[in-house]
Each structure stands twice: as structure tokens, then as C-alpha cells.
Amino acid sequence: MKARILSDAVGDNVDTITGALPKPLRHEHRRRVPRGSRLGLLAIPVGIGIALLGMPGRPLPPPTTAPPAVSIVTGAAPTAAAATVDRHALSRPVDPGVLELGVRRVILDAGHGGDNHGTASATGLQEKTLTLDIALRTRDLIVMKGFDVVMTRTEDAAVSLQERATLANGRHGDIFVSIHLNALRPAAARGIETYYLGPSDSPEHDAIAAVENEESGYSLSDMRTLLDKIYADARRDESRRLATAVQQALIHRVRQIDPDMANRGVKMAPFVVLIATDMPAILAEVSCLSNADEADRLKTPGYRQTLAEALASGIQAFAGAERTQASGS
């Protein structure tokens, strides 16, 4: 028995040296994965492919189908790993005890900036201006709650997605919250949704990711490296819980003003800024600038303050839940 155990220990080390993927589950617990769910993984390179191809201006995502370019990139981008990874193994709950539990430093990312205006309302209200305002308000609120906050930008400056992720990693943030405003079709559509990193199985989500990934600056080679990180990333479960906490807080607060606000839910999509950050990371589409009523509300400081309060509340709820889990109470 000892010899076999020792041989397996050596084999495990050789796998580490050669960079083989971790064995997902031992055979008696391994679940067969329906072919359809494996296809979901391919959506990562698909979405990133969209981003890499670049999209001039900022068109709204197509309502039902992905752009034709998708099929071109699908064949080229997936790594060998993408085809063999057991998605169920990736989504197994992670013991919070193994993860970074104390949330002290929050990285707040105001989407877009500088030449990258983001989306805009029919009246010319720009996403970059609003996300910065909401992020600054959120910063002020969570600093008062005792968190240390690092902003990826504090003025109307162009900051690449890569620079944002590098800053977040370099400053050792405990969580990363990226603030954006959505643009949806038809114009009457609206709602709040929060994303964390994962394979999307919806062309619509891929398209939204592609828009936010614009000007990522990553090469295909960089992308493959980043994708490799996804498969070893145990922080996804943390990110999902952070996304859930923020989404719940946003819906709860906004529905006090607008009971009909649509809850578009917590979703997975391959946003570059989420791939490249090393900590639990989410991207919140806190409102919808393509909707005229929402755009009117966003003009008022009071509404932006409400959104900031909701974000702060969600972050605090997540941090509190983490502490509770960490202390085992």
C-alpha cells in the first residue's frame, strides 16, 4: 500500500512540474458532464474572441445572436485545456476556509474613462461620467465603514483594462468591484445585473462582455495564459457570492424607489477585467442608460447616491458573511 501511495505522490508532483491540469474528482464521484454544458466553456474564448476582434464605436448587443465573427474565432481560440476541463469540477463549492477571508481592501473600478466614453443616453449622458460619480460616492461610503479603498481612476482619464487589473493585483485588493451602466435592446428594456467570471452560455452575455472588453490590449497569447488561470482559479465561488450580495442589495434599494425594476440576476461572462484580477471580482451593471426613464433618474445625484449606498451595502454584506464563515459562527 505504501509503495502505491508513494508512487501516486510522485505522480502528483510530476503533474505539477509538467503543468498538467489537476485531476478533477476521484473516479467514483466523477459525474458525466452533458455535452451541452461543456459547450458552455467554449463561450469563454468565443466572448474573448469578440473582444479581440474589436468593435468600432459602441453598438448595442444584438438581441438574440452573436456577431458572425464568433464562428471565426471559435475554432482558433480554445486551448487544449478548454476541451478537457470538467465544468462540474470547476463549479464545486470551495471551502471558504482555504480562501482569503478578511475583506479589508476594496478595489473600486469606475468603468470606461477618457476617450472611452462607454455607452450614452439619447440625451448625451455618458457612462464614463456616471460610473465615476457612483464609484466616488461608493468609496466615501465604504471608507466610513472602515474599508481601505483603492480606485482605478478618480478623474476622467483613460485607463486600460490591463492597467486596472494590474493596479488591483499590485495593491493586493481583497475584492474588485467594477461599476458599469448597461445598454439594452429594445430601448424600453431595463434592469440591474451583476456578472462574475465564468463561461457564458448566452450570446447576449458574450456580446455585453465583448463591449466591456473593448480595447483590452491583450493578445491572443495573453488570452490563453489568462484562460489557463481560470481553470485553476478557486476564487470563482467567492466572486459568485460577492455578485449575489451586491445584486441583492442593488435590487432591494432600487425597488424602494421603483418597485418594478427588473432583476436581471447574477450571471457569468468572460469580462477581461475579471479574468485578469487575482481576487474575487465582479462587474455590476447598476442601471441601464439606454432606457430613457433610467437615464432621467441617473441625472439626479440622489439616485446615484442610492446606487452607491446599495453597492456599499452589498460589499459590506459580503464582507460580513465572509467573517462569519471565517469564524465558524
Partner 1 sequence: MLSVGIDLGTSRSAISSSNGEQFVVDSFVGWPADLVARKVLQKDLLVGRDALDNRTMLELHRPLERGLLKEGSDRDVEAARELLRHLLSLVGAKGNKAQPVRAVVGVPAAALRTNKQYLRTALKGVVDSLMIVSEPFAVAYGLNALLHTMIIDIGAGTTDFVVMKGRYPTEDDQRSLTIAGDSIDTYLQKLIQAKYPDAGFTIFMVREWKEKHSFVGEPTDRVVVTVPMSGVPTQIDITDEMRAACESIVAPIVETMLDLLPHVEPEFQERVRKNIILAGGGGLIRNLGPTLERALEKVGGGKIRVIEAPVFCGSDGGLALAKDAQDSDWDRLVN
Residues 278/208, Cβ–Cβ less than 8 Å:
no
In terms of CB distance, is 101 or 189 closer to partner 1? Answer: 101
* First-last CA distance in the chain: 40
* Least distance CB 100 / partner 1 (angstroms): 9
In terms of CB distance, is 173 or 191 closer to partner 1? Answer: 173
Residues 58/127, Cβ–Cβ less than 8 Å:
no
In terms of CB distance, is 29 or 35 closer to partner 1? Answer: 29
* Least distance CB 15 / partner 1 (angstroms): 8
Nearest to 48 by CA among 229, 186, 169, 190: 229
In terms of CB distance, is 12 or 115 closer to partner 1? Answer: 12
Nearest to 209 by CA among 159, 161, 151, 148: 161
In terms of CB distance, is 235 or 240 closer to partner 1? Answer: 235
* Least distance CB 4 / partner 1 (angstroms): 7
What phi, psi does 214 have (nearest 5°)?
-50, 140
* Least distance CB 324 / partner 1 (angstroms): 11
Residues 261/307, Cβ–Cβ less than 8 Å:
no
In terms of CB distance, is 98 or 144 closer to partner 1? Answer: 98
- Please state the three-class secondary structure of 16-31 as a single string: HHHCCCCCCCCHHHCC
CA distance 306 to 257: 9
Residues 153/112, Cβ–Cβ less than 8 Å:
no
* Least distance CB 104 / partner 1 (angstroms): 13
Give the cell for residue 140: 466615501
Nearest to 249 by CA among 261, 238, 234, 233: 261
Secondary structure of residue 159 in the 3-state scheme:
coil
- Residues contributing to the site for partner 1 (CB under 8 A): 1-2, 4-10, 12-17, 19, 22-23, 25-26, 29, 95, 97-98, 101, 169-170, 172, 232, 234, 326-329
In terms of CB distance, is 6 or 83 closer to partner 1? Answer: 6
Q: Dihedral of CA 117/121/127/130: which sign?
A: positive
* Least distance CB 157 / partner 1 (angstroms): 25
Q: In whole angstroms, what separates CA 47 from the centre of its chain?
A: 13
* Least distance CB 228 / partner 1 (angstroms): 10
